Structure 1
Amino acid sequence: MEWVKAVQRLRARREAGVLVTVLSVRGHAPREAGAKMVVAADNVWATVGGGNLEALAVERSREMIAQGIGSPEVLTAALSDKAPYQHGVQCCGGEVQLLLEPLPVVPSVAIFGVGHVGLELARILARHDIELHLVDSRADQLTTGRLGVLDDAVAQVHVHNVPVLPELVVGELPPGTHVVIMTHDHAEDAALCDAAIRNDQLATIGLIGSSAKWTRFQRKLADDGNPPEAIARITTPIGIPTVTGKEPAVIAVSTAAWLLERFTTERAPQQTTGEAAAASTSTAGAHAASAQSAARLPVPARSAERRPASAQRKATA
């Protein structure tokens, strides 16, 4: 089916779209219930009947894509010469309901190091609709038997066995990927950190390890010519600070929760300039007195990236 191929194509290209389905038909209509089409920002596949009906669906679908709307919507159109129309008269005489289902770009995560912690993290993330990249320089960590726990994964799992220079995989990851570095080798971790901060298309970069490890890495990354703002892109320790422990499963749960928070932020619709201005005006009016005094004080930056290392995060990768 054309619409199925279109959905697969959008997924592979990491492009957002909307699946439009004829939900119900009353009276005469150009297509029957169940007919589908797929709308992208710059393309349309298949058809739900053409004319004003289809043009309205395409128009609304592209608004949903542009606004980042993630919830399905139902669009009702009357096919009558007496009904309001924007894109030409369509007078079949019936009424059609269309279901518009967003096809978002799913999150992408790359785990570098599929050891005890990495595999536990992969098992959790594999239950979510994401692109999951597993990268390791050790072939025995990526065997079919060891990764069999991911056979029922919801995620699209991509396995990268790279015995030499695994940091080259960083440049091949989709834009917006969340990178988690937890290999068995601190030298490999350092090389991956260097490659990651030189890639400005990554969403986040997380590093497992202790505060002593991070101190050494900061020095090395600076010596290699990386500016402070680039080094600051690395979050370490990773995870939720209140979830502590050294067990691989505990570290994995904490890290997965940290990533899920970021997925939620990515999915949240962005405020328009007008909405942001209105919110700002409302807040200013409600808190004018306190804002005057607070404005004279420096506001400390809230940084989850430089939290004190907990006992859990002192475990080495």
Structure 2
Amino acid sequence: MKHWLVDLELLLTNKNDVIRVVVAATRGSAPREAGASMLVYRHGTSGTLGGGHLEFKAIELARDLLDQSGKLSHCQRFSLGAALGQCCGGIVDLWWERFTAADLEFISAANIQMQQANQVVLATLVEDKNISQRTLFVSGVQHSVPEFTELSSYAESLMRAAPDSLRTRLMHRDGGKVLLERLDREHTPLWIFGAGHVGQAIVGLLSSLPFDITWVDSRAGAFPTSAHNGVTTLESEIPAAEVRYAPEDAWFLVLTHDHDLDYTICQAILTHETRGFIGLIGSRTKAARFDHRLTRQGFQAERITCPIGIAGISGKEPATIAVAVVAQLLQEREARQLAGHSTSSSLQLAMDSQRS
């Protein structure tokens, strides 16, 4: 799964005209969250709005836009009821926007900012159904484009919002609309230590889910010969030494072939002071021993989850363990997103207050 900016840059490099369809805002139940998007071009699509008739209609309108060279954007509200063949009952605002090869330089710059993990907001101003201007708000960089000056406070609020929350803001202004989008790296960085049977089963399930995986093992030939999409493998004589290269928001799974090696890696992770999830494979007895030793050495042993995997699945087969662990990762990821949405609600009120 690639970020839409990565896919768009590749399509524009290959001289495709592309319509990006964005869920600009939602009310009530909807197939996807605000900020979800898909790309539509002459010979295919990338991404999804959740499927169903809404997505079918979005693609149909996007292809109509591709046939209208003078029309660059469109915004429309849909009620997700019987008339649309959907029963969500909510309301969705969709935003269509054309990109051509002329936009490649801008999209490349936006992609670089996002990959560098800078706080960045993409602002698109549309007047009379034509894109008048796009710009990037980057944290710590003074913004001086007159048409967007009044939007600085809204962009800053989006930057300050919790990860995976309040990513998109659709605003109306005289003569047009503005779409603000925080450009997050959508995947969670996950470092997995151990390429044994369980590690291979877990990576096999995760490779198509929203995780950027770095897979570490000390043994030559431990990794499977067939590469998984989006997985970086790293053969290292001292796996614990690689922890220092993980980003501060990285998550970790420790499941090597050796308990002493597991312990050394856990020490390195706790020294790293990551904010992410830390999972350790093992029994409750192993968890108690690690907890006792780490606590005596001054580490926050309670940060480590051991055993790993959701409750209620007791099978010991690698594939069974993998299903339980991946389910736990997805639960944890969603719980953090919900916590972020709760935190962001006060920011939303503040933004609305500023506007009024």
Shorter-chain-normalised TM-score: which range? 0.5 to 0.7
Question: Gaps (5+ residues) in structure 1?
Answer: 79-94, 276-317
Give structure 1 regions of 4+ aligned residues with deviation exceeding 4 angstroms. Answer: 272-275
Contact 1:179 1:202 in 2 (8 A): no
Contact 2:122 2:135 in 1 (8 A): yes
Identity of matched residues, %: 26
2:341 is matched with: 269
Q: Whose strand fraction is larger, Structure 1's or Structure 2's?
A: 2
2:113 is matched with: 10
TM-score, normalised to structure 1's length? Answer: 0.66
Once residues 160 and 67 of structure 1 are traced to their aligned partners in structure 2, the CA distance between those partners, rounded to angstroms, is 33
1:214-237 Cα offsets, whole Å, 9 max, x none, are 333334435xx523x612221101
1:147-180 Cα offsets, whole Å, 9 max, x none, are x2x23x4xxx332210x11000111110021111
1:110 is matched with: 191
The one-letter code matched in structure 2 to 1:168 is A
Residues 253 and 19 of structure 1, relative CA distance in 2, 3 Å threshold:
farther
1:99 is matched with: 179
Structure 2 counterpart of 1:161, from 235, 246, 268: 235
Residues 207 and 73 of structure 1, relative CA distance in 2, 3 Å threshold:
same
Larger of the two Rg values belongs to structure? 1
The one-letter code matched in structure 2 to 1:194 is Q
The one-letter code matched in structure 2 to 1:10 is Q
Q: Residue 239 of structure 1: SS of its match in structure 2?
A: coil
Structure 1 counterpart of 2:268, from 195, 202, 211: 195
Residues 244 and 100 of structure 1, relative CA distance in 2, 3 Å threshold:
farther
2:322 pairs with 1:252: yes
Residues 10 and 244 of structure 1, relative CA distance in 2, 3 Å threshold:
farther
2:286 pairs with 1:213: yes
Once residues 246 and 35 of structure 1 are traced to their aligned partners in structure 2, the CA distance between those partners, rounded to angstroms, is 56
1:56 is matched with: 150
Structure 2 counterpart of 1:237, from 297, 301, 307: 307
Residues 247 and 3 of structure 1, relative CA distance in 2, 3 Å threshold:
farther
1:26 is matched with: 128
Contact 2:214 2:232 in 1 (8 A): yes
Once residues 273 and 102 of structure 1 are traced to their aligned partners in structure 2, the CA distance between those partners, rounded to angstroms, is 16
Residues 15 and 256 of structure 1, relative CA distance in 2, 3 Å threshold:
farther
Contact 1:16 1:105 in 2 (8 A): no
Structure 2 counterpart of 1:66, from 160, 182, 197: 160
Number of corresponding residues:
239
Structure 2 counterpart of 1:119, from 200, 214, 220: 200
TM-score, normalised to structure 2's length? Answer: 0.59
Contact 2:252 2:278 in 1 (8 A): yes
Contact 1:19 1:39 in 2 (8 A): yes
Residue 240 of structure 1: how far off its partner (Å)? 0.9
Residue 239 of structure 1: how far off its partner (Å)? 1.5
Residue 270 of structure 1: how far off its partner (Å)? 5.0
Structure 1 counterpart of 2:139, from 35, 41, 51: 41
Question: Gaps (5+ residues) in structure 2?
Answer: 1-103, 348-356
2:60 is matched with: none
Using CA pairs under 8 Å that are at least 6 residues apart, name the structure with larger relative contact order, 1 or 2.
1
